[in-house]
Structure 1
Amino acid sequence: MAGGGLLRVDYGDLSLLEGRLTQIVSSMKSDNHTTSDLAAAVGDPRLAGKITEFGDSWSVHRGQISEEIEWMRDKVREISDGFATTDGDLADGLKG
């Protein structure tokens, strides 16, 4: 690199990010019954209907968001693996 710059990769941070993204996806996928439980608890059929309608719409969007977060998590893993492979290859090249 020009100017003697260094690239430092913190694998711990990448691993932490991957873990957090996995937790987010898991939480979003396990949150399927919240709106139906709330609709049953409110007691007013009109309000329960609106809650259910919102829940149905949110379910679609939640699925799309989950897919995007899973994609991001997979990219973080690929980046980490790619840097680790390159780092190992360079280290091996210095040995041989």
Structure 2
Amino acid sequence: MKSGIDADVGRGGERGNRRYGWARAQIDQRRRWLFEIWAWRAAGQIAAGLEEVAGMWASRQRERRGLNADRARADEKLNAGMTAGESNTGSVLF
């Protein structure tokens, strides 16, 4: 017959550890879930930020292309009326 500390080893102590282990596993699992939820939310926020930056970049590119196209059209109109030897200001070069 076991007595003292050894008496708990095969009975209540083991069951108690098993119970504690189960609770610990539940706590750890909840922590993993919370971390996973946090990670997915953070990833979503990062993706939204990148999407916003990409949208701003695309609109800036469209704006630049539009400005360049406007300049090209203006240059064509200017150059259409000029003869050889004139600059786009209308002054004679030589």
User: TM-score, length-normalised on structure 2?
Assistant: 0.51
Once the two structures are superposed, the pairs formed by residues 66-81 of structure 1 within 5 Å of their partners are 66-81=28-43
Query: In the alignment, what sits opposite 1:55?
Result: 17
Query: In the alignment, what sits opposite 1:88?
Result: 50
Stretches of structure 1 lacking an aligned partner (at least 5 in a row): 1-42
What's the RMSD between the two structures over aligned residues? 1.6
Distance in 2 of aligned mates of 1:88 and 1:44: 61
Stretches of structure 2 lacking an aligned partner (at least 5 in a row): 59-94
AA paired with 1:56?
R
Percentage of pairs with the same residue: 13
Tell me the alpha carbon deviations over residues 16-68 of structure 1, each in whole angstroms, 9 at most, x when there is no partner: xxxxxxxxxxxxxxxxxxxxxxxxxxx72224343322211111111111111
Distance in 1 of aligned mates of 2:33 and 2:49: 24
AA paired with 2:13?
I
Structure number with larger C-alpha Rg: 2
User: TM-score, length-normalised on structure 1?
Assistant: 0.50
Distance in 1 of aligned mates of 2:55 and 2:31: 36
Length, aligned pairs only: 54
User: Residue 46 in 1 paired to residue 14 in 2?
Assistant: no
